[in-house]
Structure 1
Amino acid sequence: MTSFPRAHPSQQKNSPDTPGRITETPPDLKESFSLGAETATGDAEVDRIWFAPNVWPREVPELAPLVEEYTAQMRRVADDLLALCAHALGLPVNPFAALASTPTWTMNINHYPPVSVVGEPEPGQFRIGPHTDFGTVTILDREPGAGGLQVYSEQAGWENAPYDPAALTVNIGDLLEYWSGRRWPSGRHRVLPPQPDAPEEDLVSLIYFYEANHDALVTPLSPPIGRAEGLEPVLSADFIKQRLDAITVS
Structure 2
Amino acid sequence: MSAIATVDLSRWRVGGSAADAVAAEVDEGLQRAGFILVAGHGVDPTLTAGVRAAAREFFGLPDAVKQRYSVPVGGHGWIAPGAEANAYAEGTETPPDLKESYSLGAETATGDLEVDRVWFAPNAWPAEVASLQPLVDEYTAAMRRVSDELLALFAHALGLPANPFVELASRPTWTMNINHYPPVSVVGEPEPGQFRIGPHTDFGTVTVLDREPGAGGLQVYSDTDGWADAPYDPDALTVNIGDLLEYWSGRRWPSGRHRVLPPQPHAPEEDLVSLIYFYEANHDALVTPLEPPIGRVSGLQPVTSSAFIKERLDAITVG
Partner in structure 1 of residue 259 of structure 2: 190
Q: Is 1:132 the counterpart of 2:201 in the alignment? A: yes
Quick check: 132-141 or 240-249, which moved more?
Answer: 240-249
Counterpart Cα distance in 2 of 1:249 and 1:231:
30
Provide Cα deviations, 1:22-50, integer angstroms capped at 9, x if missing partner. 21111111110000000000111100010
Question: Mapping of 1:1-250 within 5 angstroms?
Answer: 1-3=61-63, 5-13=80-88, 21-250=90-319
How far 1:243 sits from its partner (Å)?
A: 1.1
Unaligned runs of 5+ in 2: 1-60, 67-79
How far 1:247 sits from its partner (Å)?
A: 2.2
Counterpart Cα distance in 1 of 2:156 and 2:82:
39
- SS where residue 87 of structure 2 aligns? coil
Q: Contact (CA 8 Å) 2:85, 2:95: kept in 1 or not?
A: no
Structure 1 residues 96, 232: closer, same or farther in 2, change over 3 A?
A: same
Partner in structure 2 of residue 16 of structure 1: none
Counterpart Cα distance in 2 of 1:245 and 1:199:
32
Q: Contact (CA 8 Å) 2:86, 2:97: kept in 1 or not?
A: no
- SS where residue 144 of structure 1 aligns? coil
Counterpart Cα distance in 2 of 1:183 and 1:70:
31
Q: Contact (CA 8 Å) 2:85, 2:94: kept in 1 or not?
A: no
Q: Contact (CA 8 Å) 1:183, 1:227: kept in 2 or not?
A: yes
Aligned partner letter, 1:56 = W
Aligned partner letter, 1:11 = N
Unaligned runs of 5+ in 1: 14-18
Aligned partner letter, 2:254 = P
Counting matched residue pairs gives 244
Q: Contact (CA 8 Å) 1:9, 1:25: kept in 2 or not?
A: no
How far 1:242 sits from its partner (Å)?
A: 1.4
Aligned partner letter, 2:288 = T
Structure 1 residues 59, 2: closer, same or farther in 2, change over 3 A?
A: closer
Q: Contact (CA 8 Å) 1:29, 1:125: kept in 2 or not?
A: yes
How far 1:8 sits from its partner (Å)?
A: 3.2
Partner in structure 1 of residue 40 of structure 2: none
- SS where residue 175 of structure 2 aligns? strand
Partner in structure 1 of residue 22 of structure 2: none
Q: Contact (CA 8 Å) 1:11, 1:133: kept in 2 or not?
A: no
How far 1:245 sits from its partner (Å)?
A: 2.2
TM-score (norm 2): 0.74
TM-score (norm 1): 0.95
Counterpart Cα distance in 1 of 2:238 and 2:254:
16
Counterpart Cα distance in 2 of 1:11 and 1:146:
20
How far 1:53 sits from its partner (Å)?
A: 0.2
Q: Contact (CA 8 Å) 1:40, 1:51: kept in 2 or not?
A: yes
Q: Percent identity?
A: 80
How far 1:92 sits from its partner (Å)?
A: 0.4
How far 1:248 sits from its partner (Å)?
A: 3.0
Q: Contact (CA 8 Å) 1:38, 1:54: kept in 2 or not?
A: yes
Counterpart Cα distance in 2 of 1:112 and 1:7:
12
Instruction: Give me the CA root mean square deviation.
Output: 1.3
Higher helix share goes to which structure? 2
